[in-house]
Amino acid sequence: MKIALGADHGGYTLKEQIKKHLEGKGHEVVDLGAHSTESVDYPEFGRAVGEAVVEGKADRGVVVCGTGIGISIAANKVKGVRAALCTNTTMARLTREHNDANVLAIGARMVGDVLALEMVDTFLTTEFEGGRHANRVAKIEGEEKKGGCSCGGNCH
């Protein structure tokens, strides 16, 4: 599987651990930065990973910042991205099964590295269940097509 990775300075060290872990399992990694612990802005990395996934340059994405919150918000601004901030393996499994999430967000300062790697593995090996969940994901995508507002896209 081809995985896009992105992190700000707060997530850099964990991103590097995830990269090594994924490569060790035979995955192809697209490292979109950051490439050091020097202070950078997380929105550019969330966007870069989101775009890579939506454009088909990666099958799924993983984004990391200090809390995972900011970078997940940034990734979700890319049309077609369903980024989920997870703090345990149950959340990582359910966001794939129920939400067909295509980007996993992790807070490097919120979870330990062993748990983070377990979440990544769970996220990548869990399939979308479809069924009733497909209808819900379609509704999310429908809102996105309307621009996310109740006007049906007429206000833009």
Report how far Cα 5 is from the mean position of its chain's Cα atoms.
9
**Residue 65 annotated in active site:** yes
Q: Confirm whether residue 76 is marked as ligand binding.
A: no
Q: Confirm whether residue 96 is marked as ligand binding.
A: no
Q: Confirm whether residue 70 is marked as ligand binding.
A: yes
Q: Per the residue annotation, which of 21, 27, 98, 133 is the catalytic one? A: 98
DSSP labels for 56-93?
TS-SEEEEEESSSHHHHHHHHTSTT--EEE-SSHHHHH
Q: What are phi and psi of 141, to 5 degrees?
A: -65, -35
- DSSP, res 2: E
Q: Confirm whether residue 113 is marked as ligand binding.
A: no
Q: Confirm whether residue 50 is marked as ligand binding.
A: no
Q: Confirm whether residue 10 is marked as ligand binding.
A: no
Q: Which residue has the tokens 């967000």?
A: 105
Q: Per the residue annotation, which of 65, 86, 155, 156 is the catalytic one? A: 65
Distances (CA, A) of 142 to 80, 84, 96, 132: 11, 18, 19, 16
Q: Confirm whether residue 109 is marked as ligand binding.
A: yes
Taking the C-alpha atoms of residue 43 and residue 114, their distance in angstroms, rounded to an integer, is 26
**Residue 98 annotated in active site:** yes
Which residue ranges are tagged as binding site for D-ribulose 5-phosphate? 8-9, 66-70, 99, 109, 132, 136
**Which residues are catalytic, by number?**
65, 98
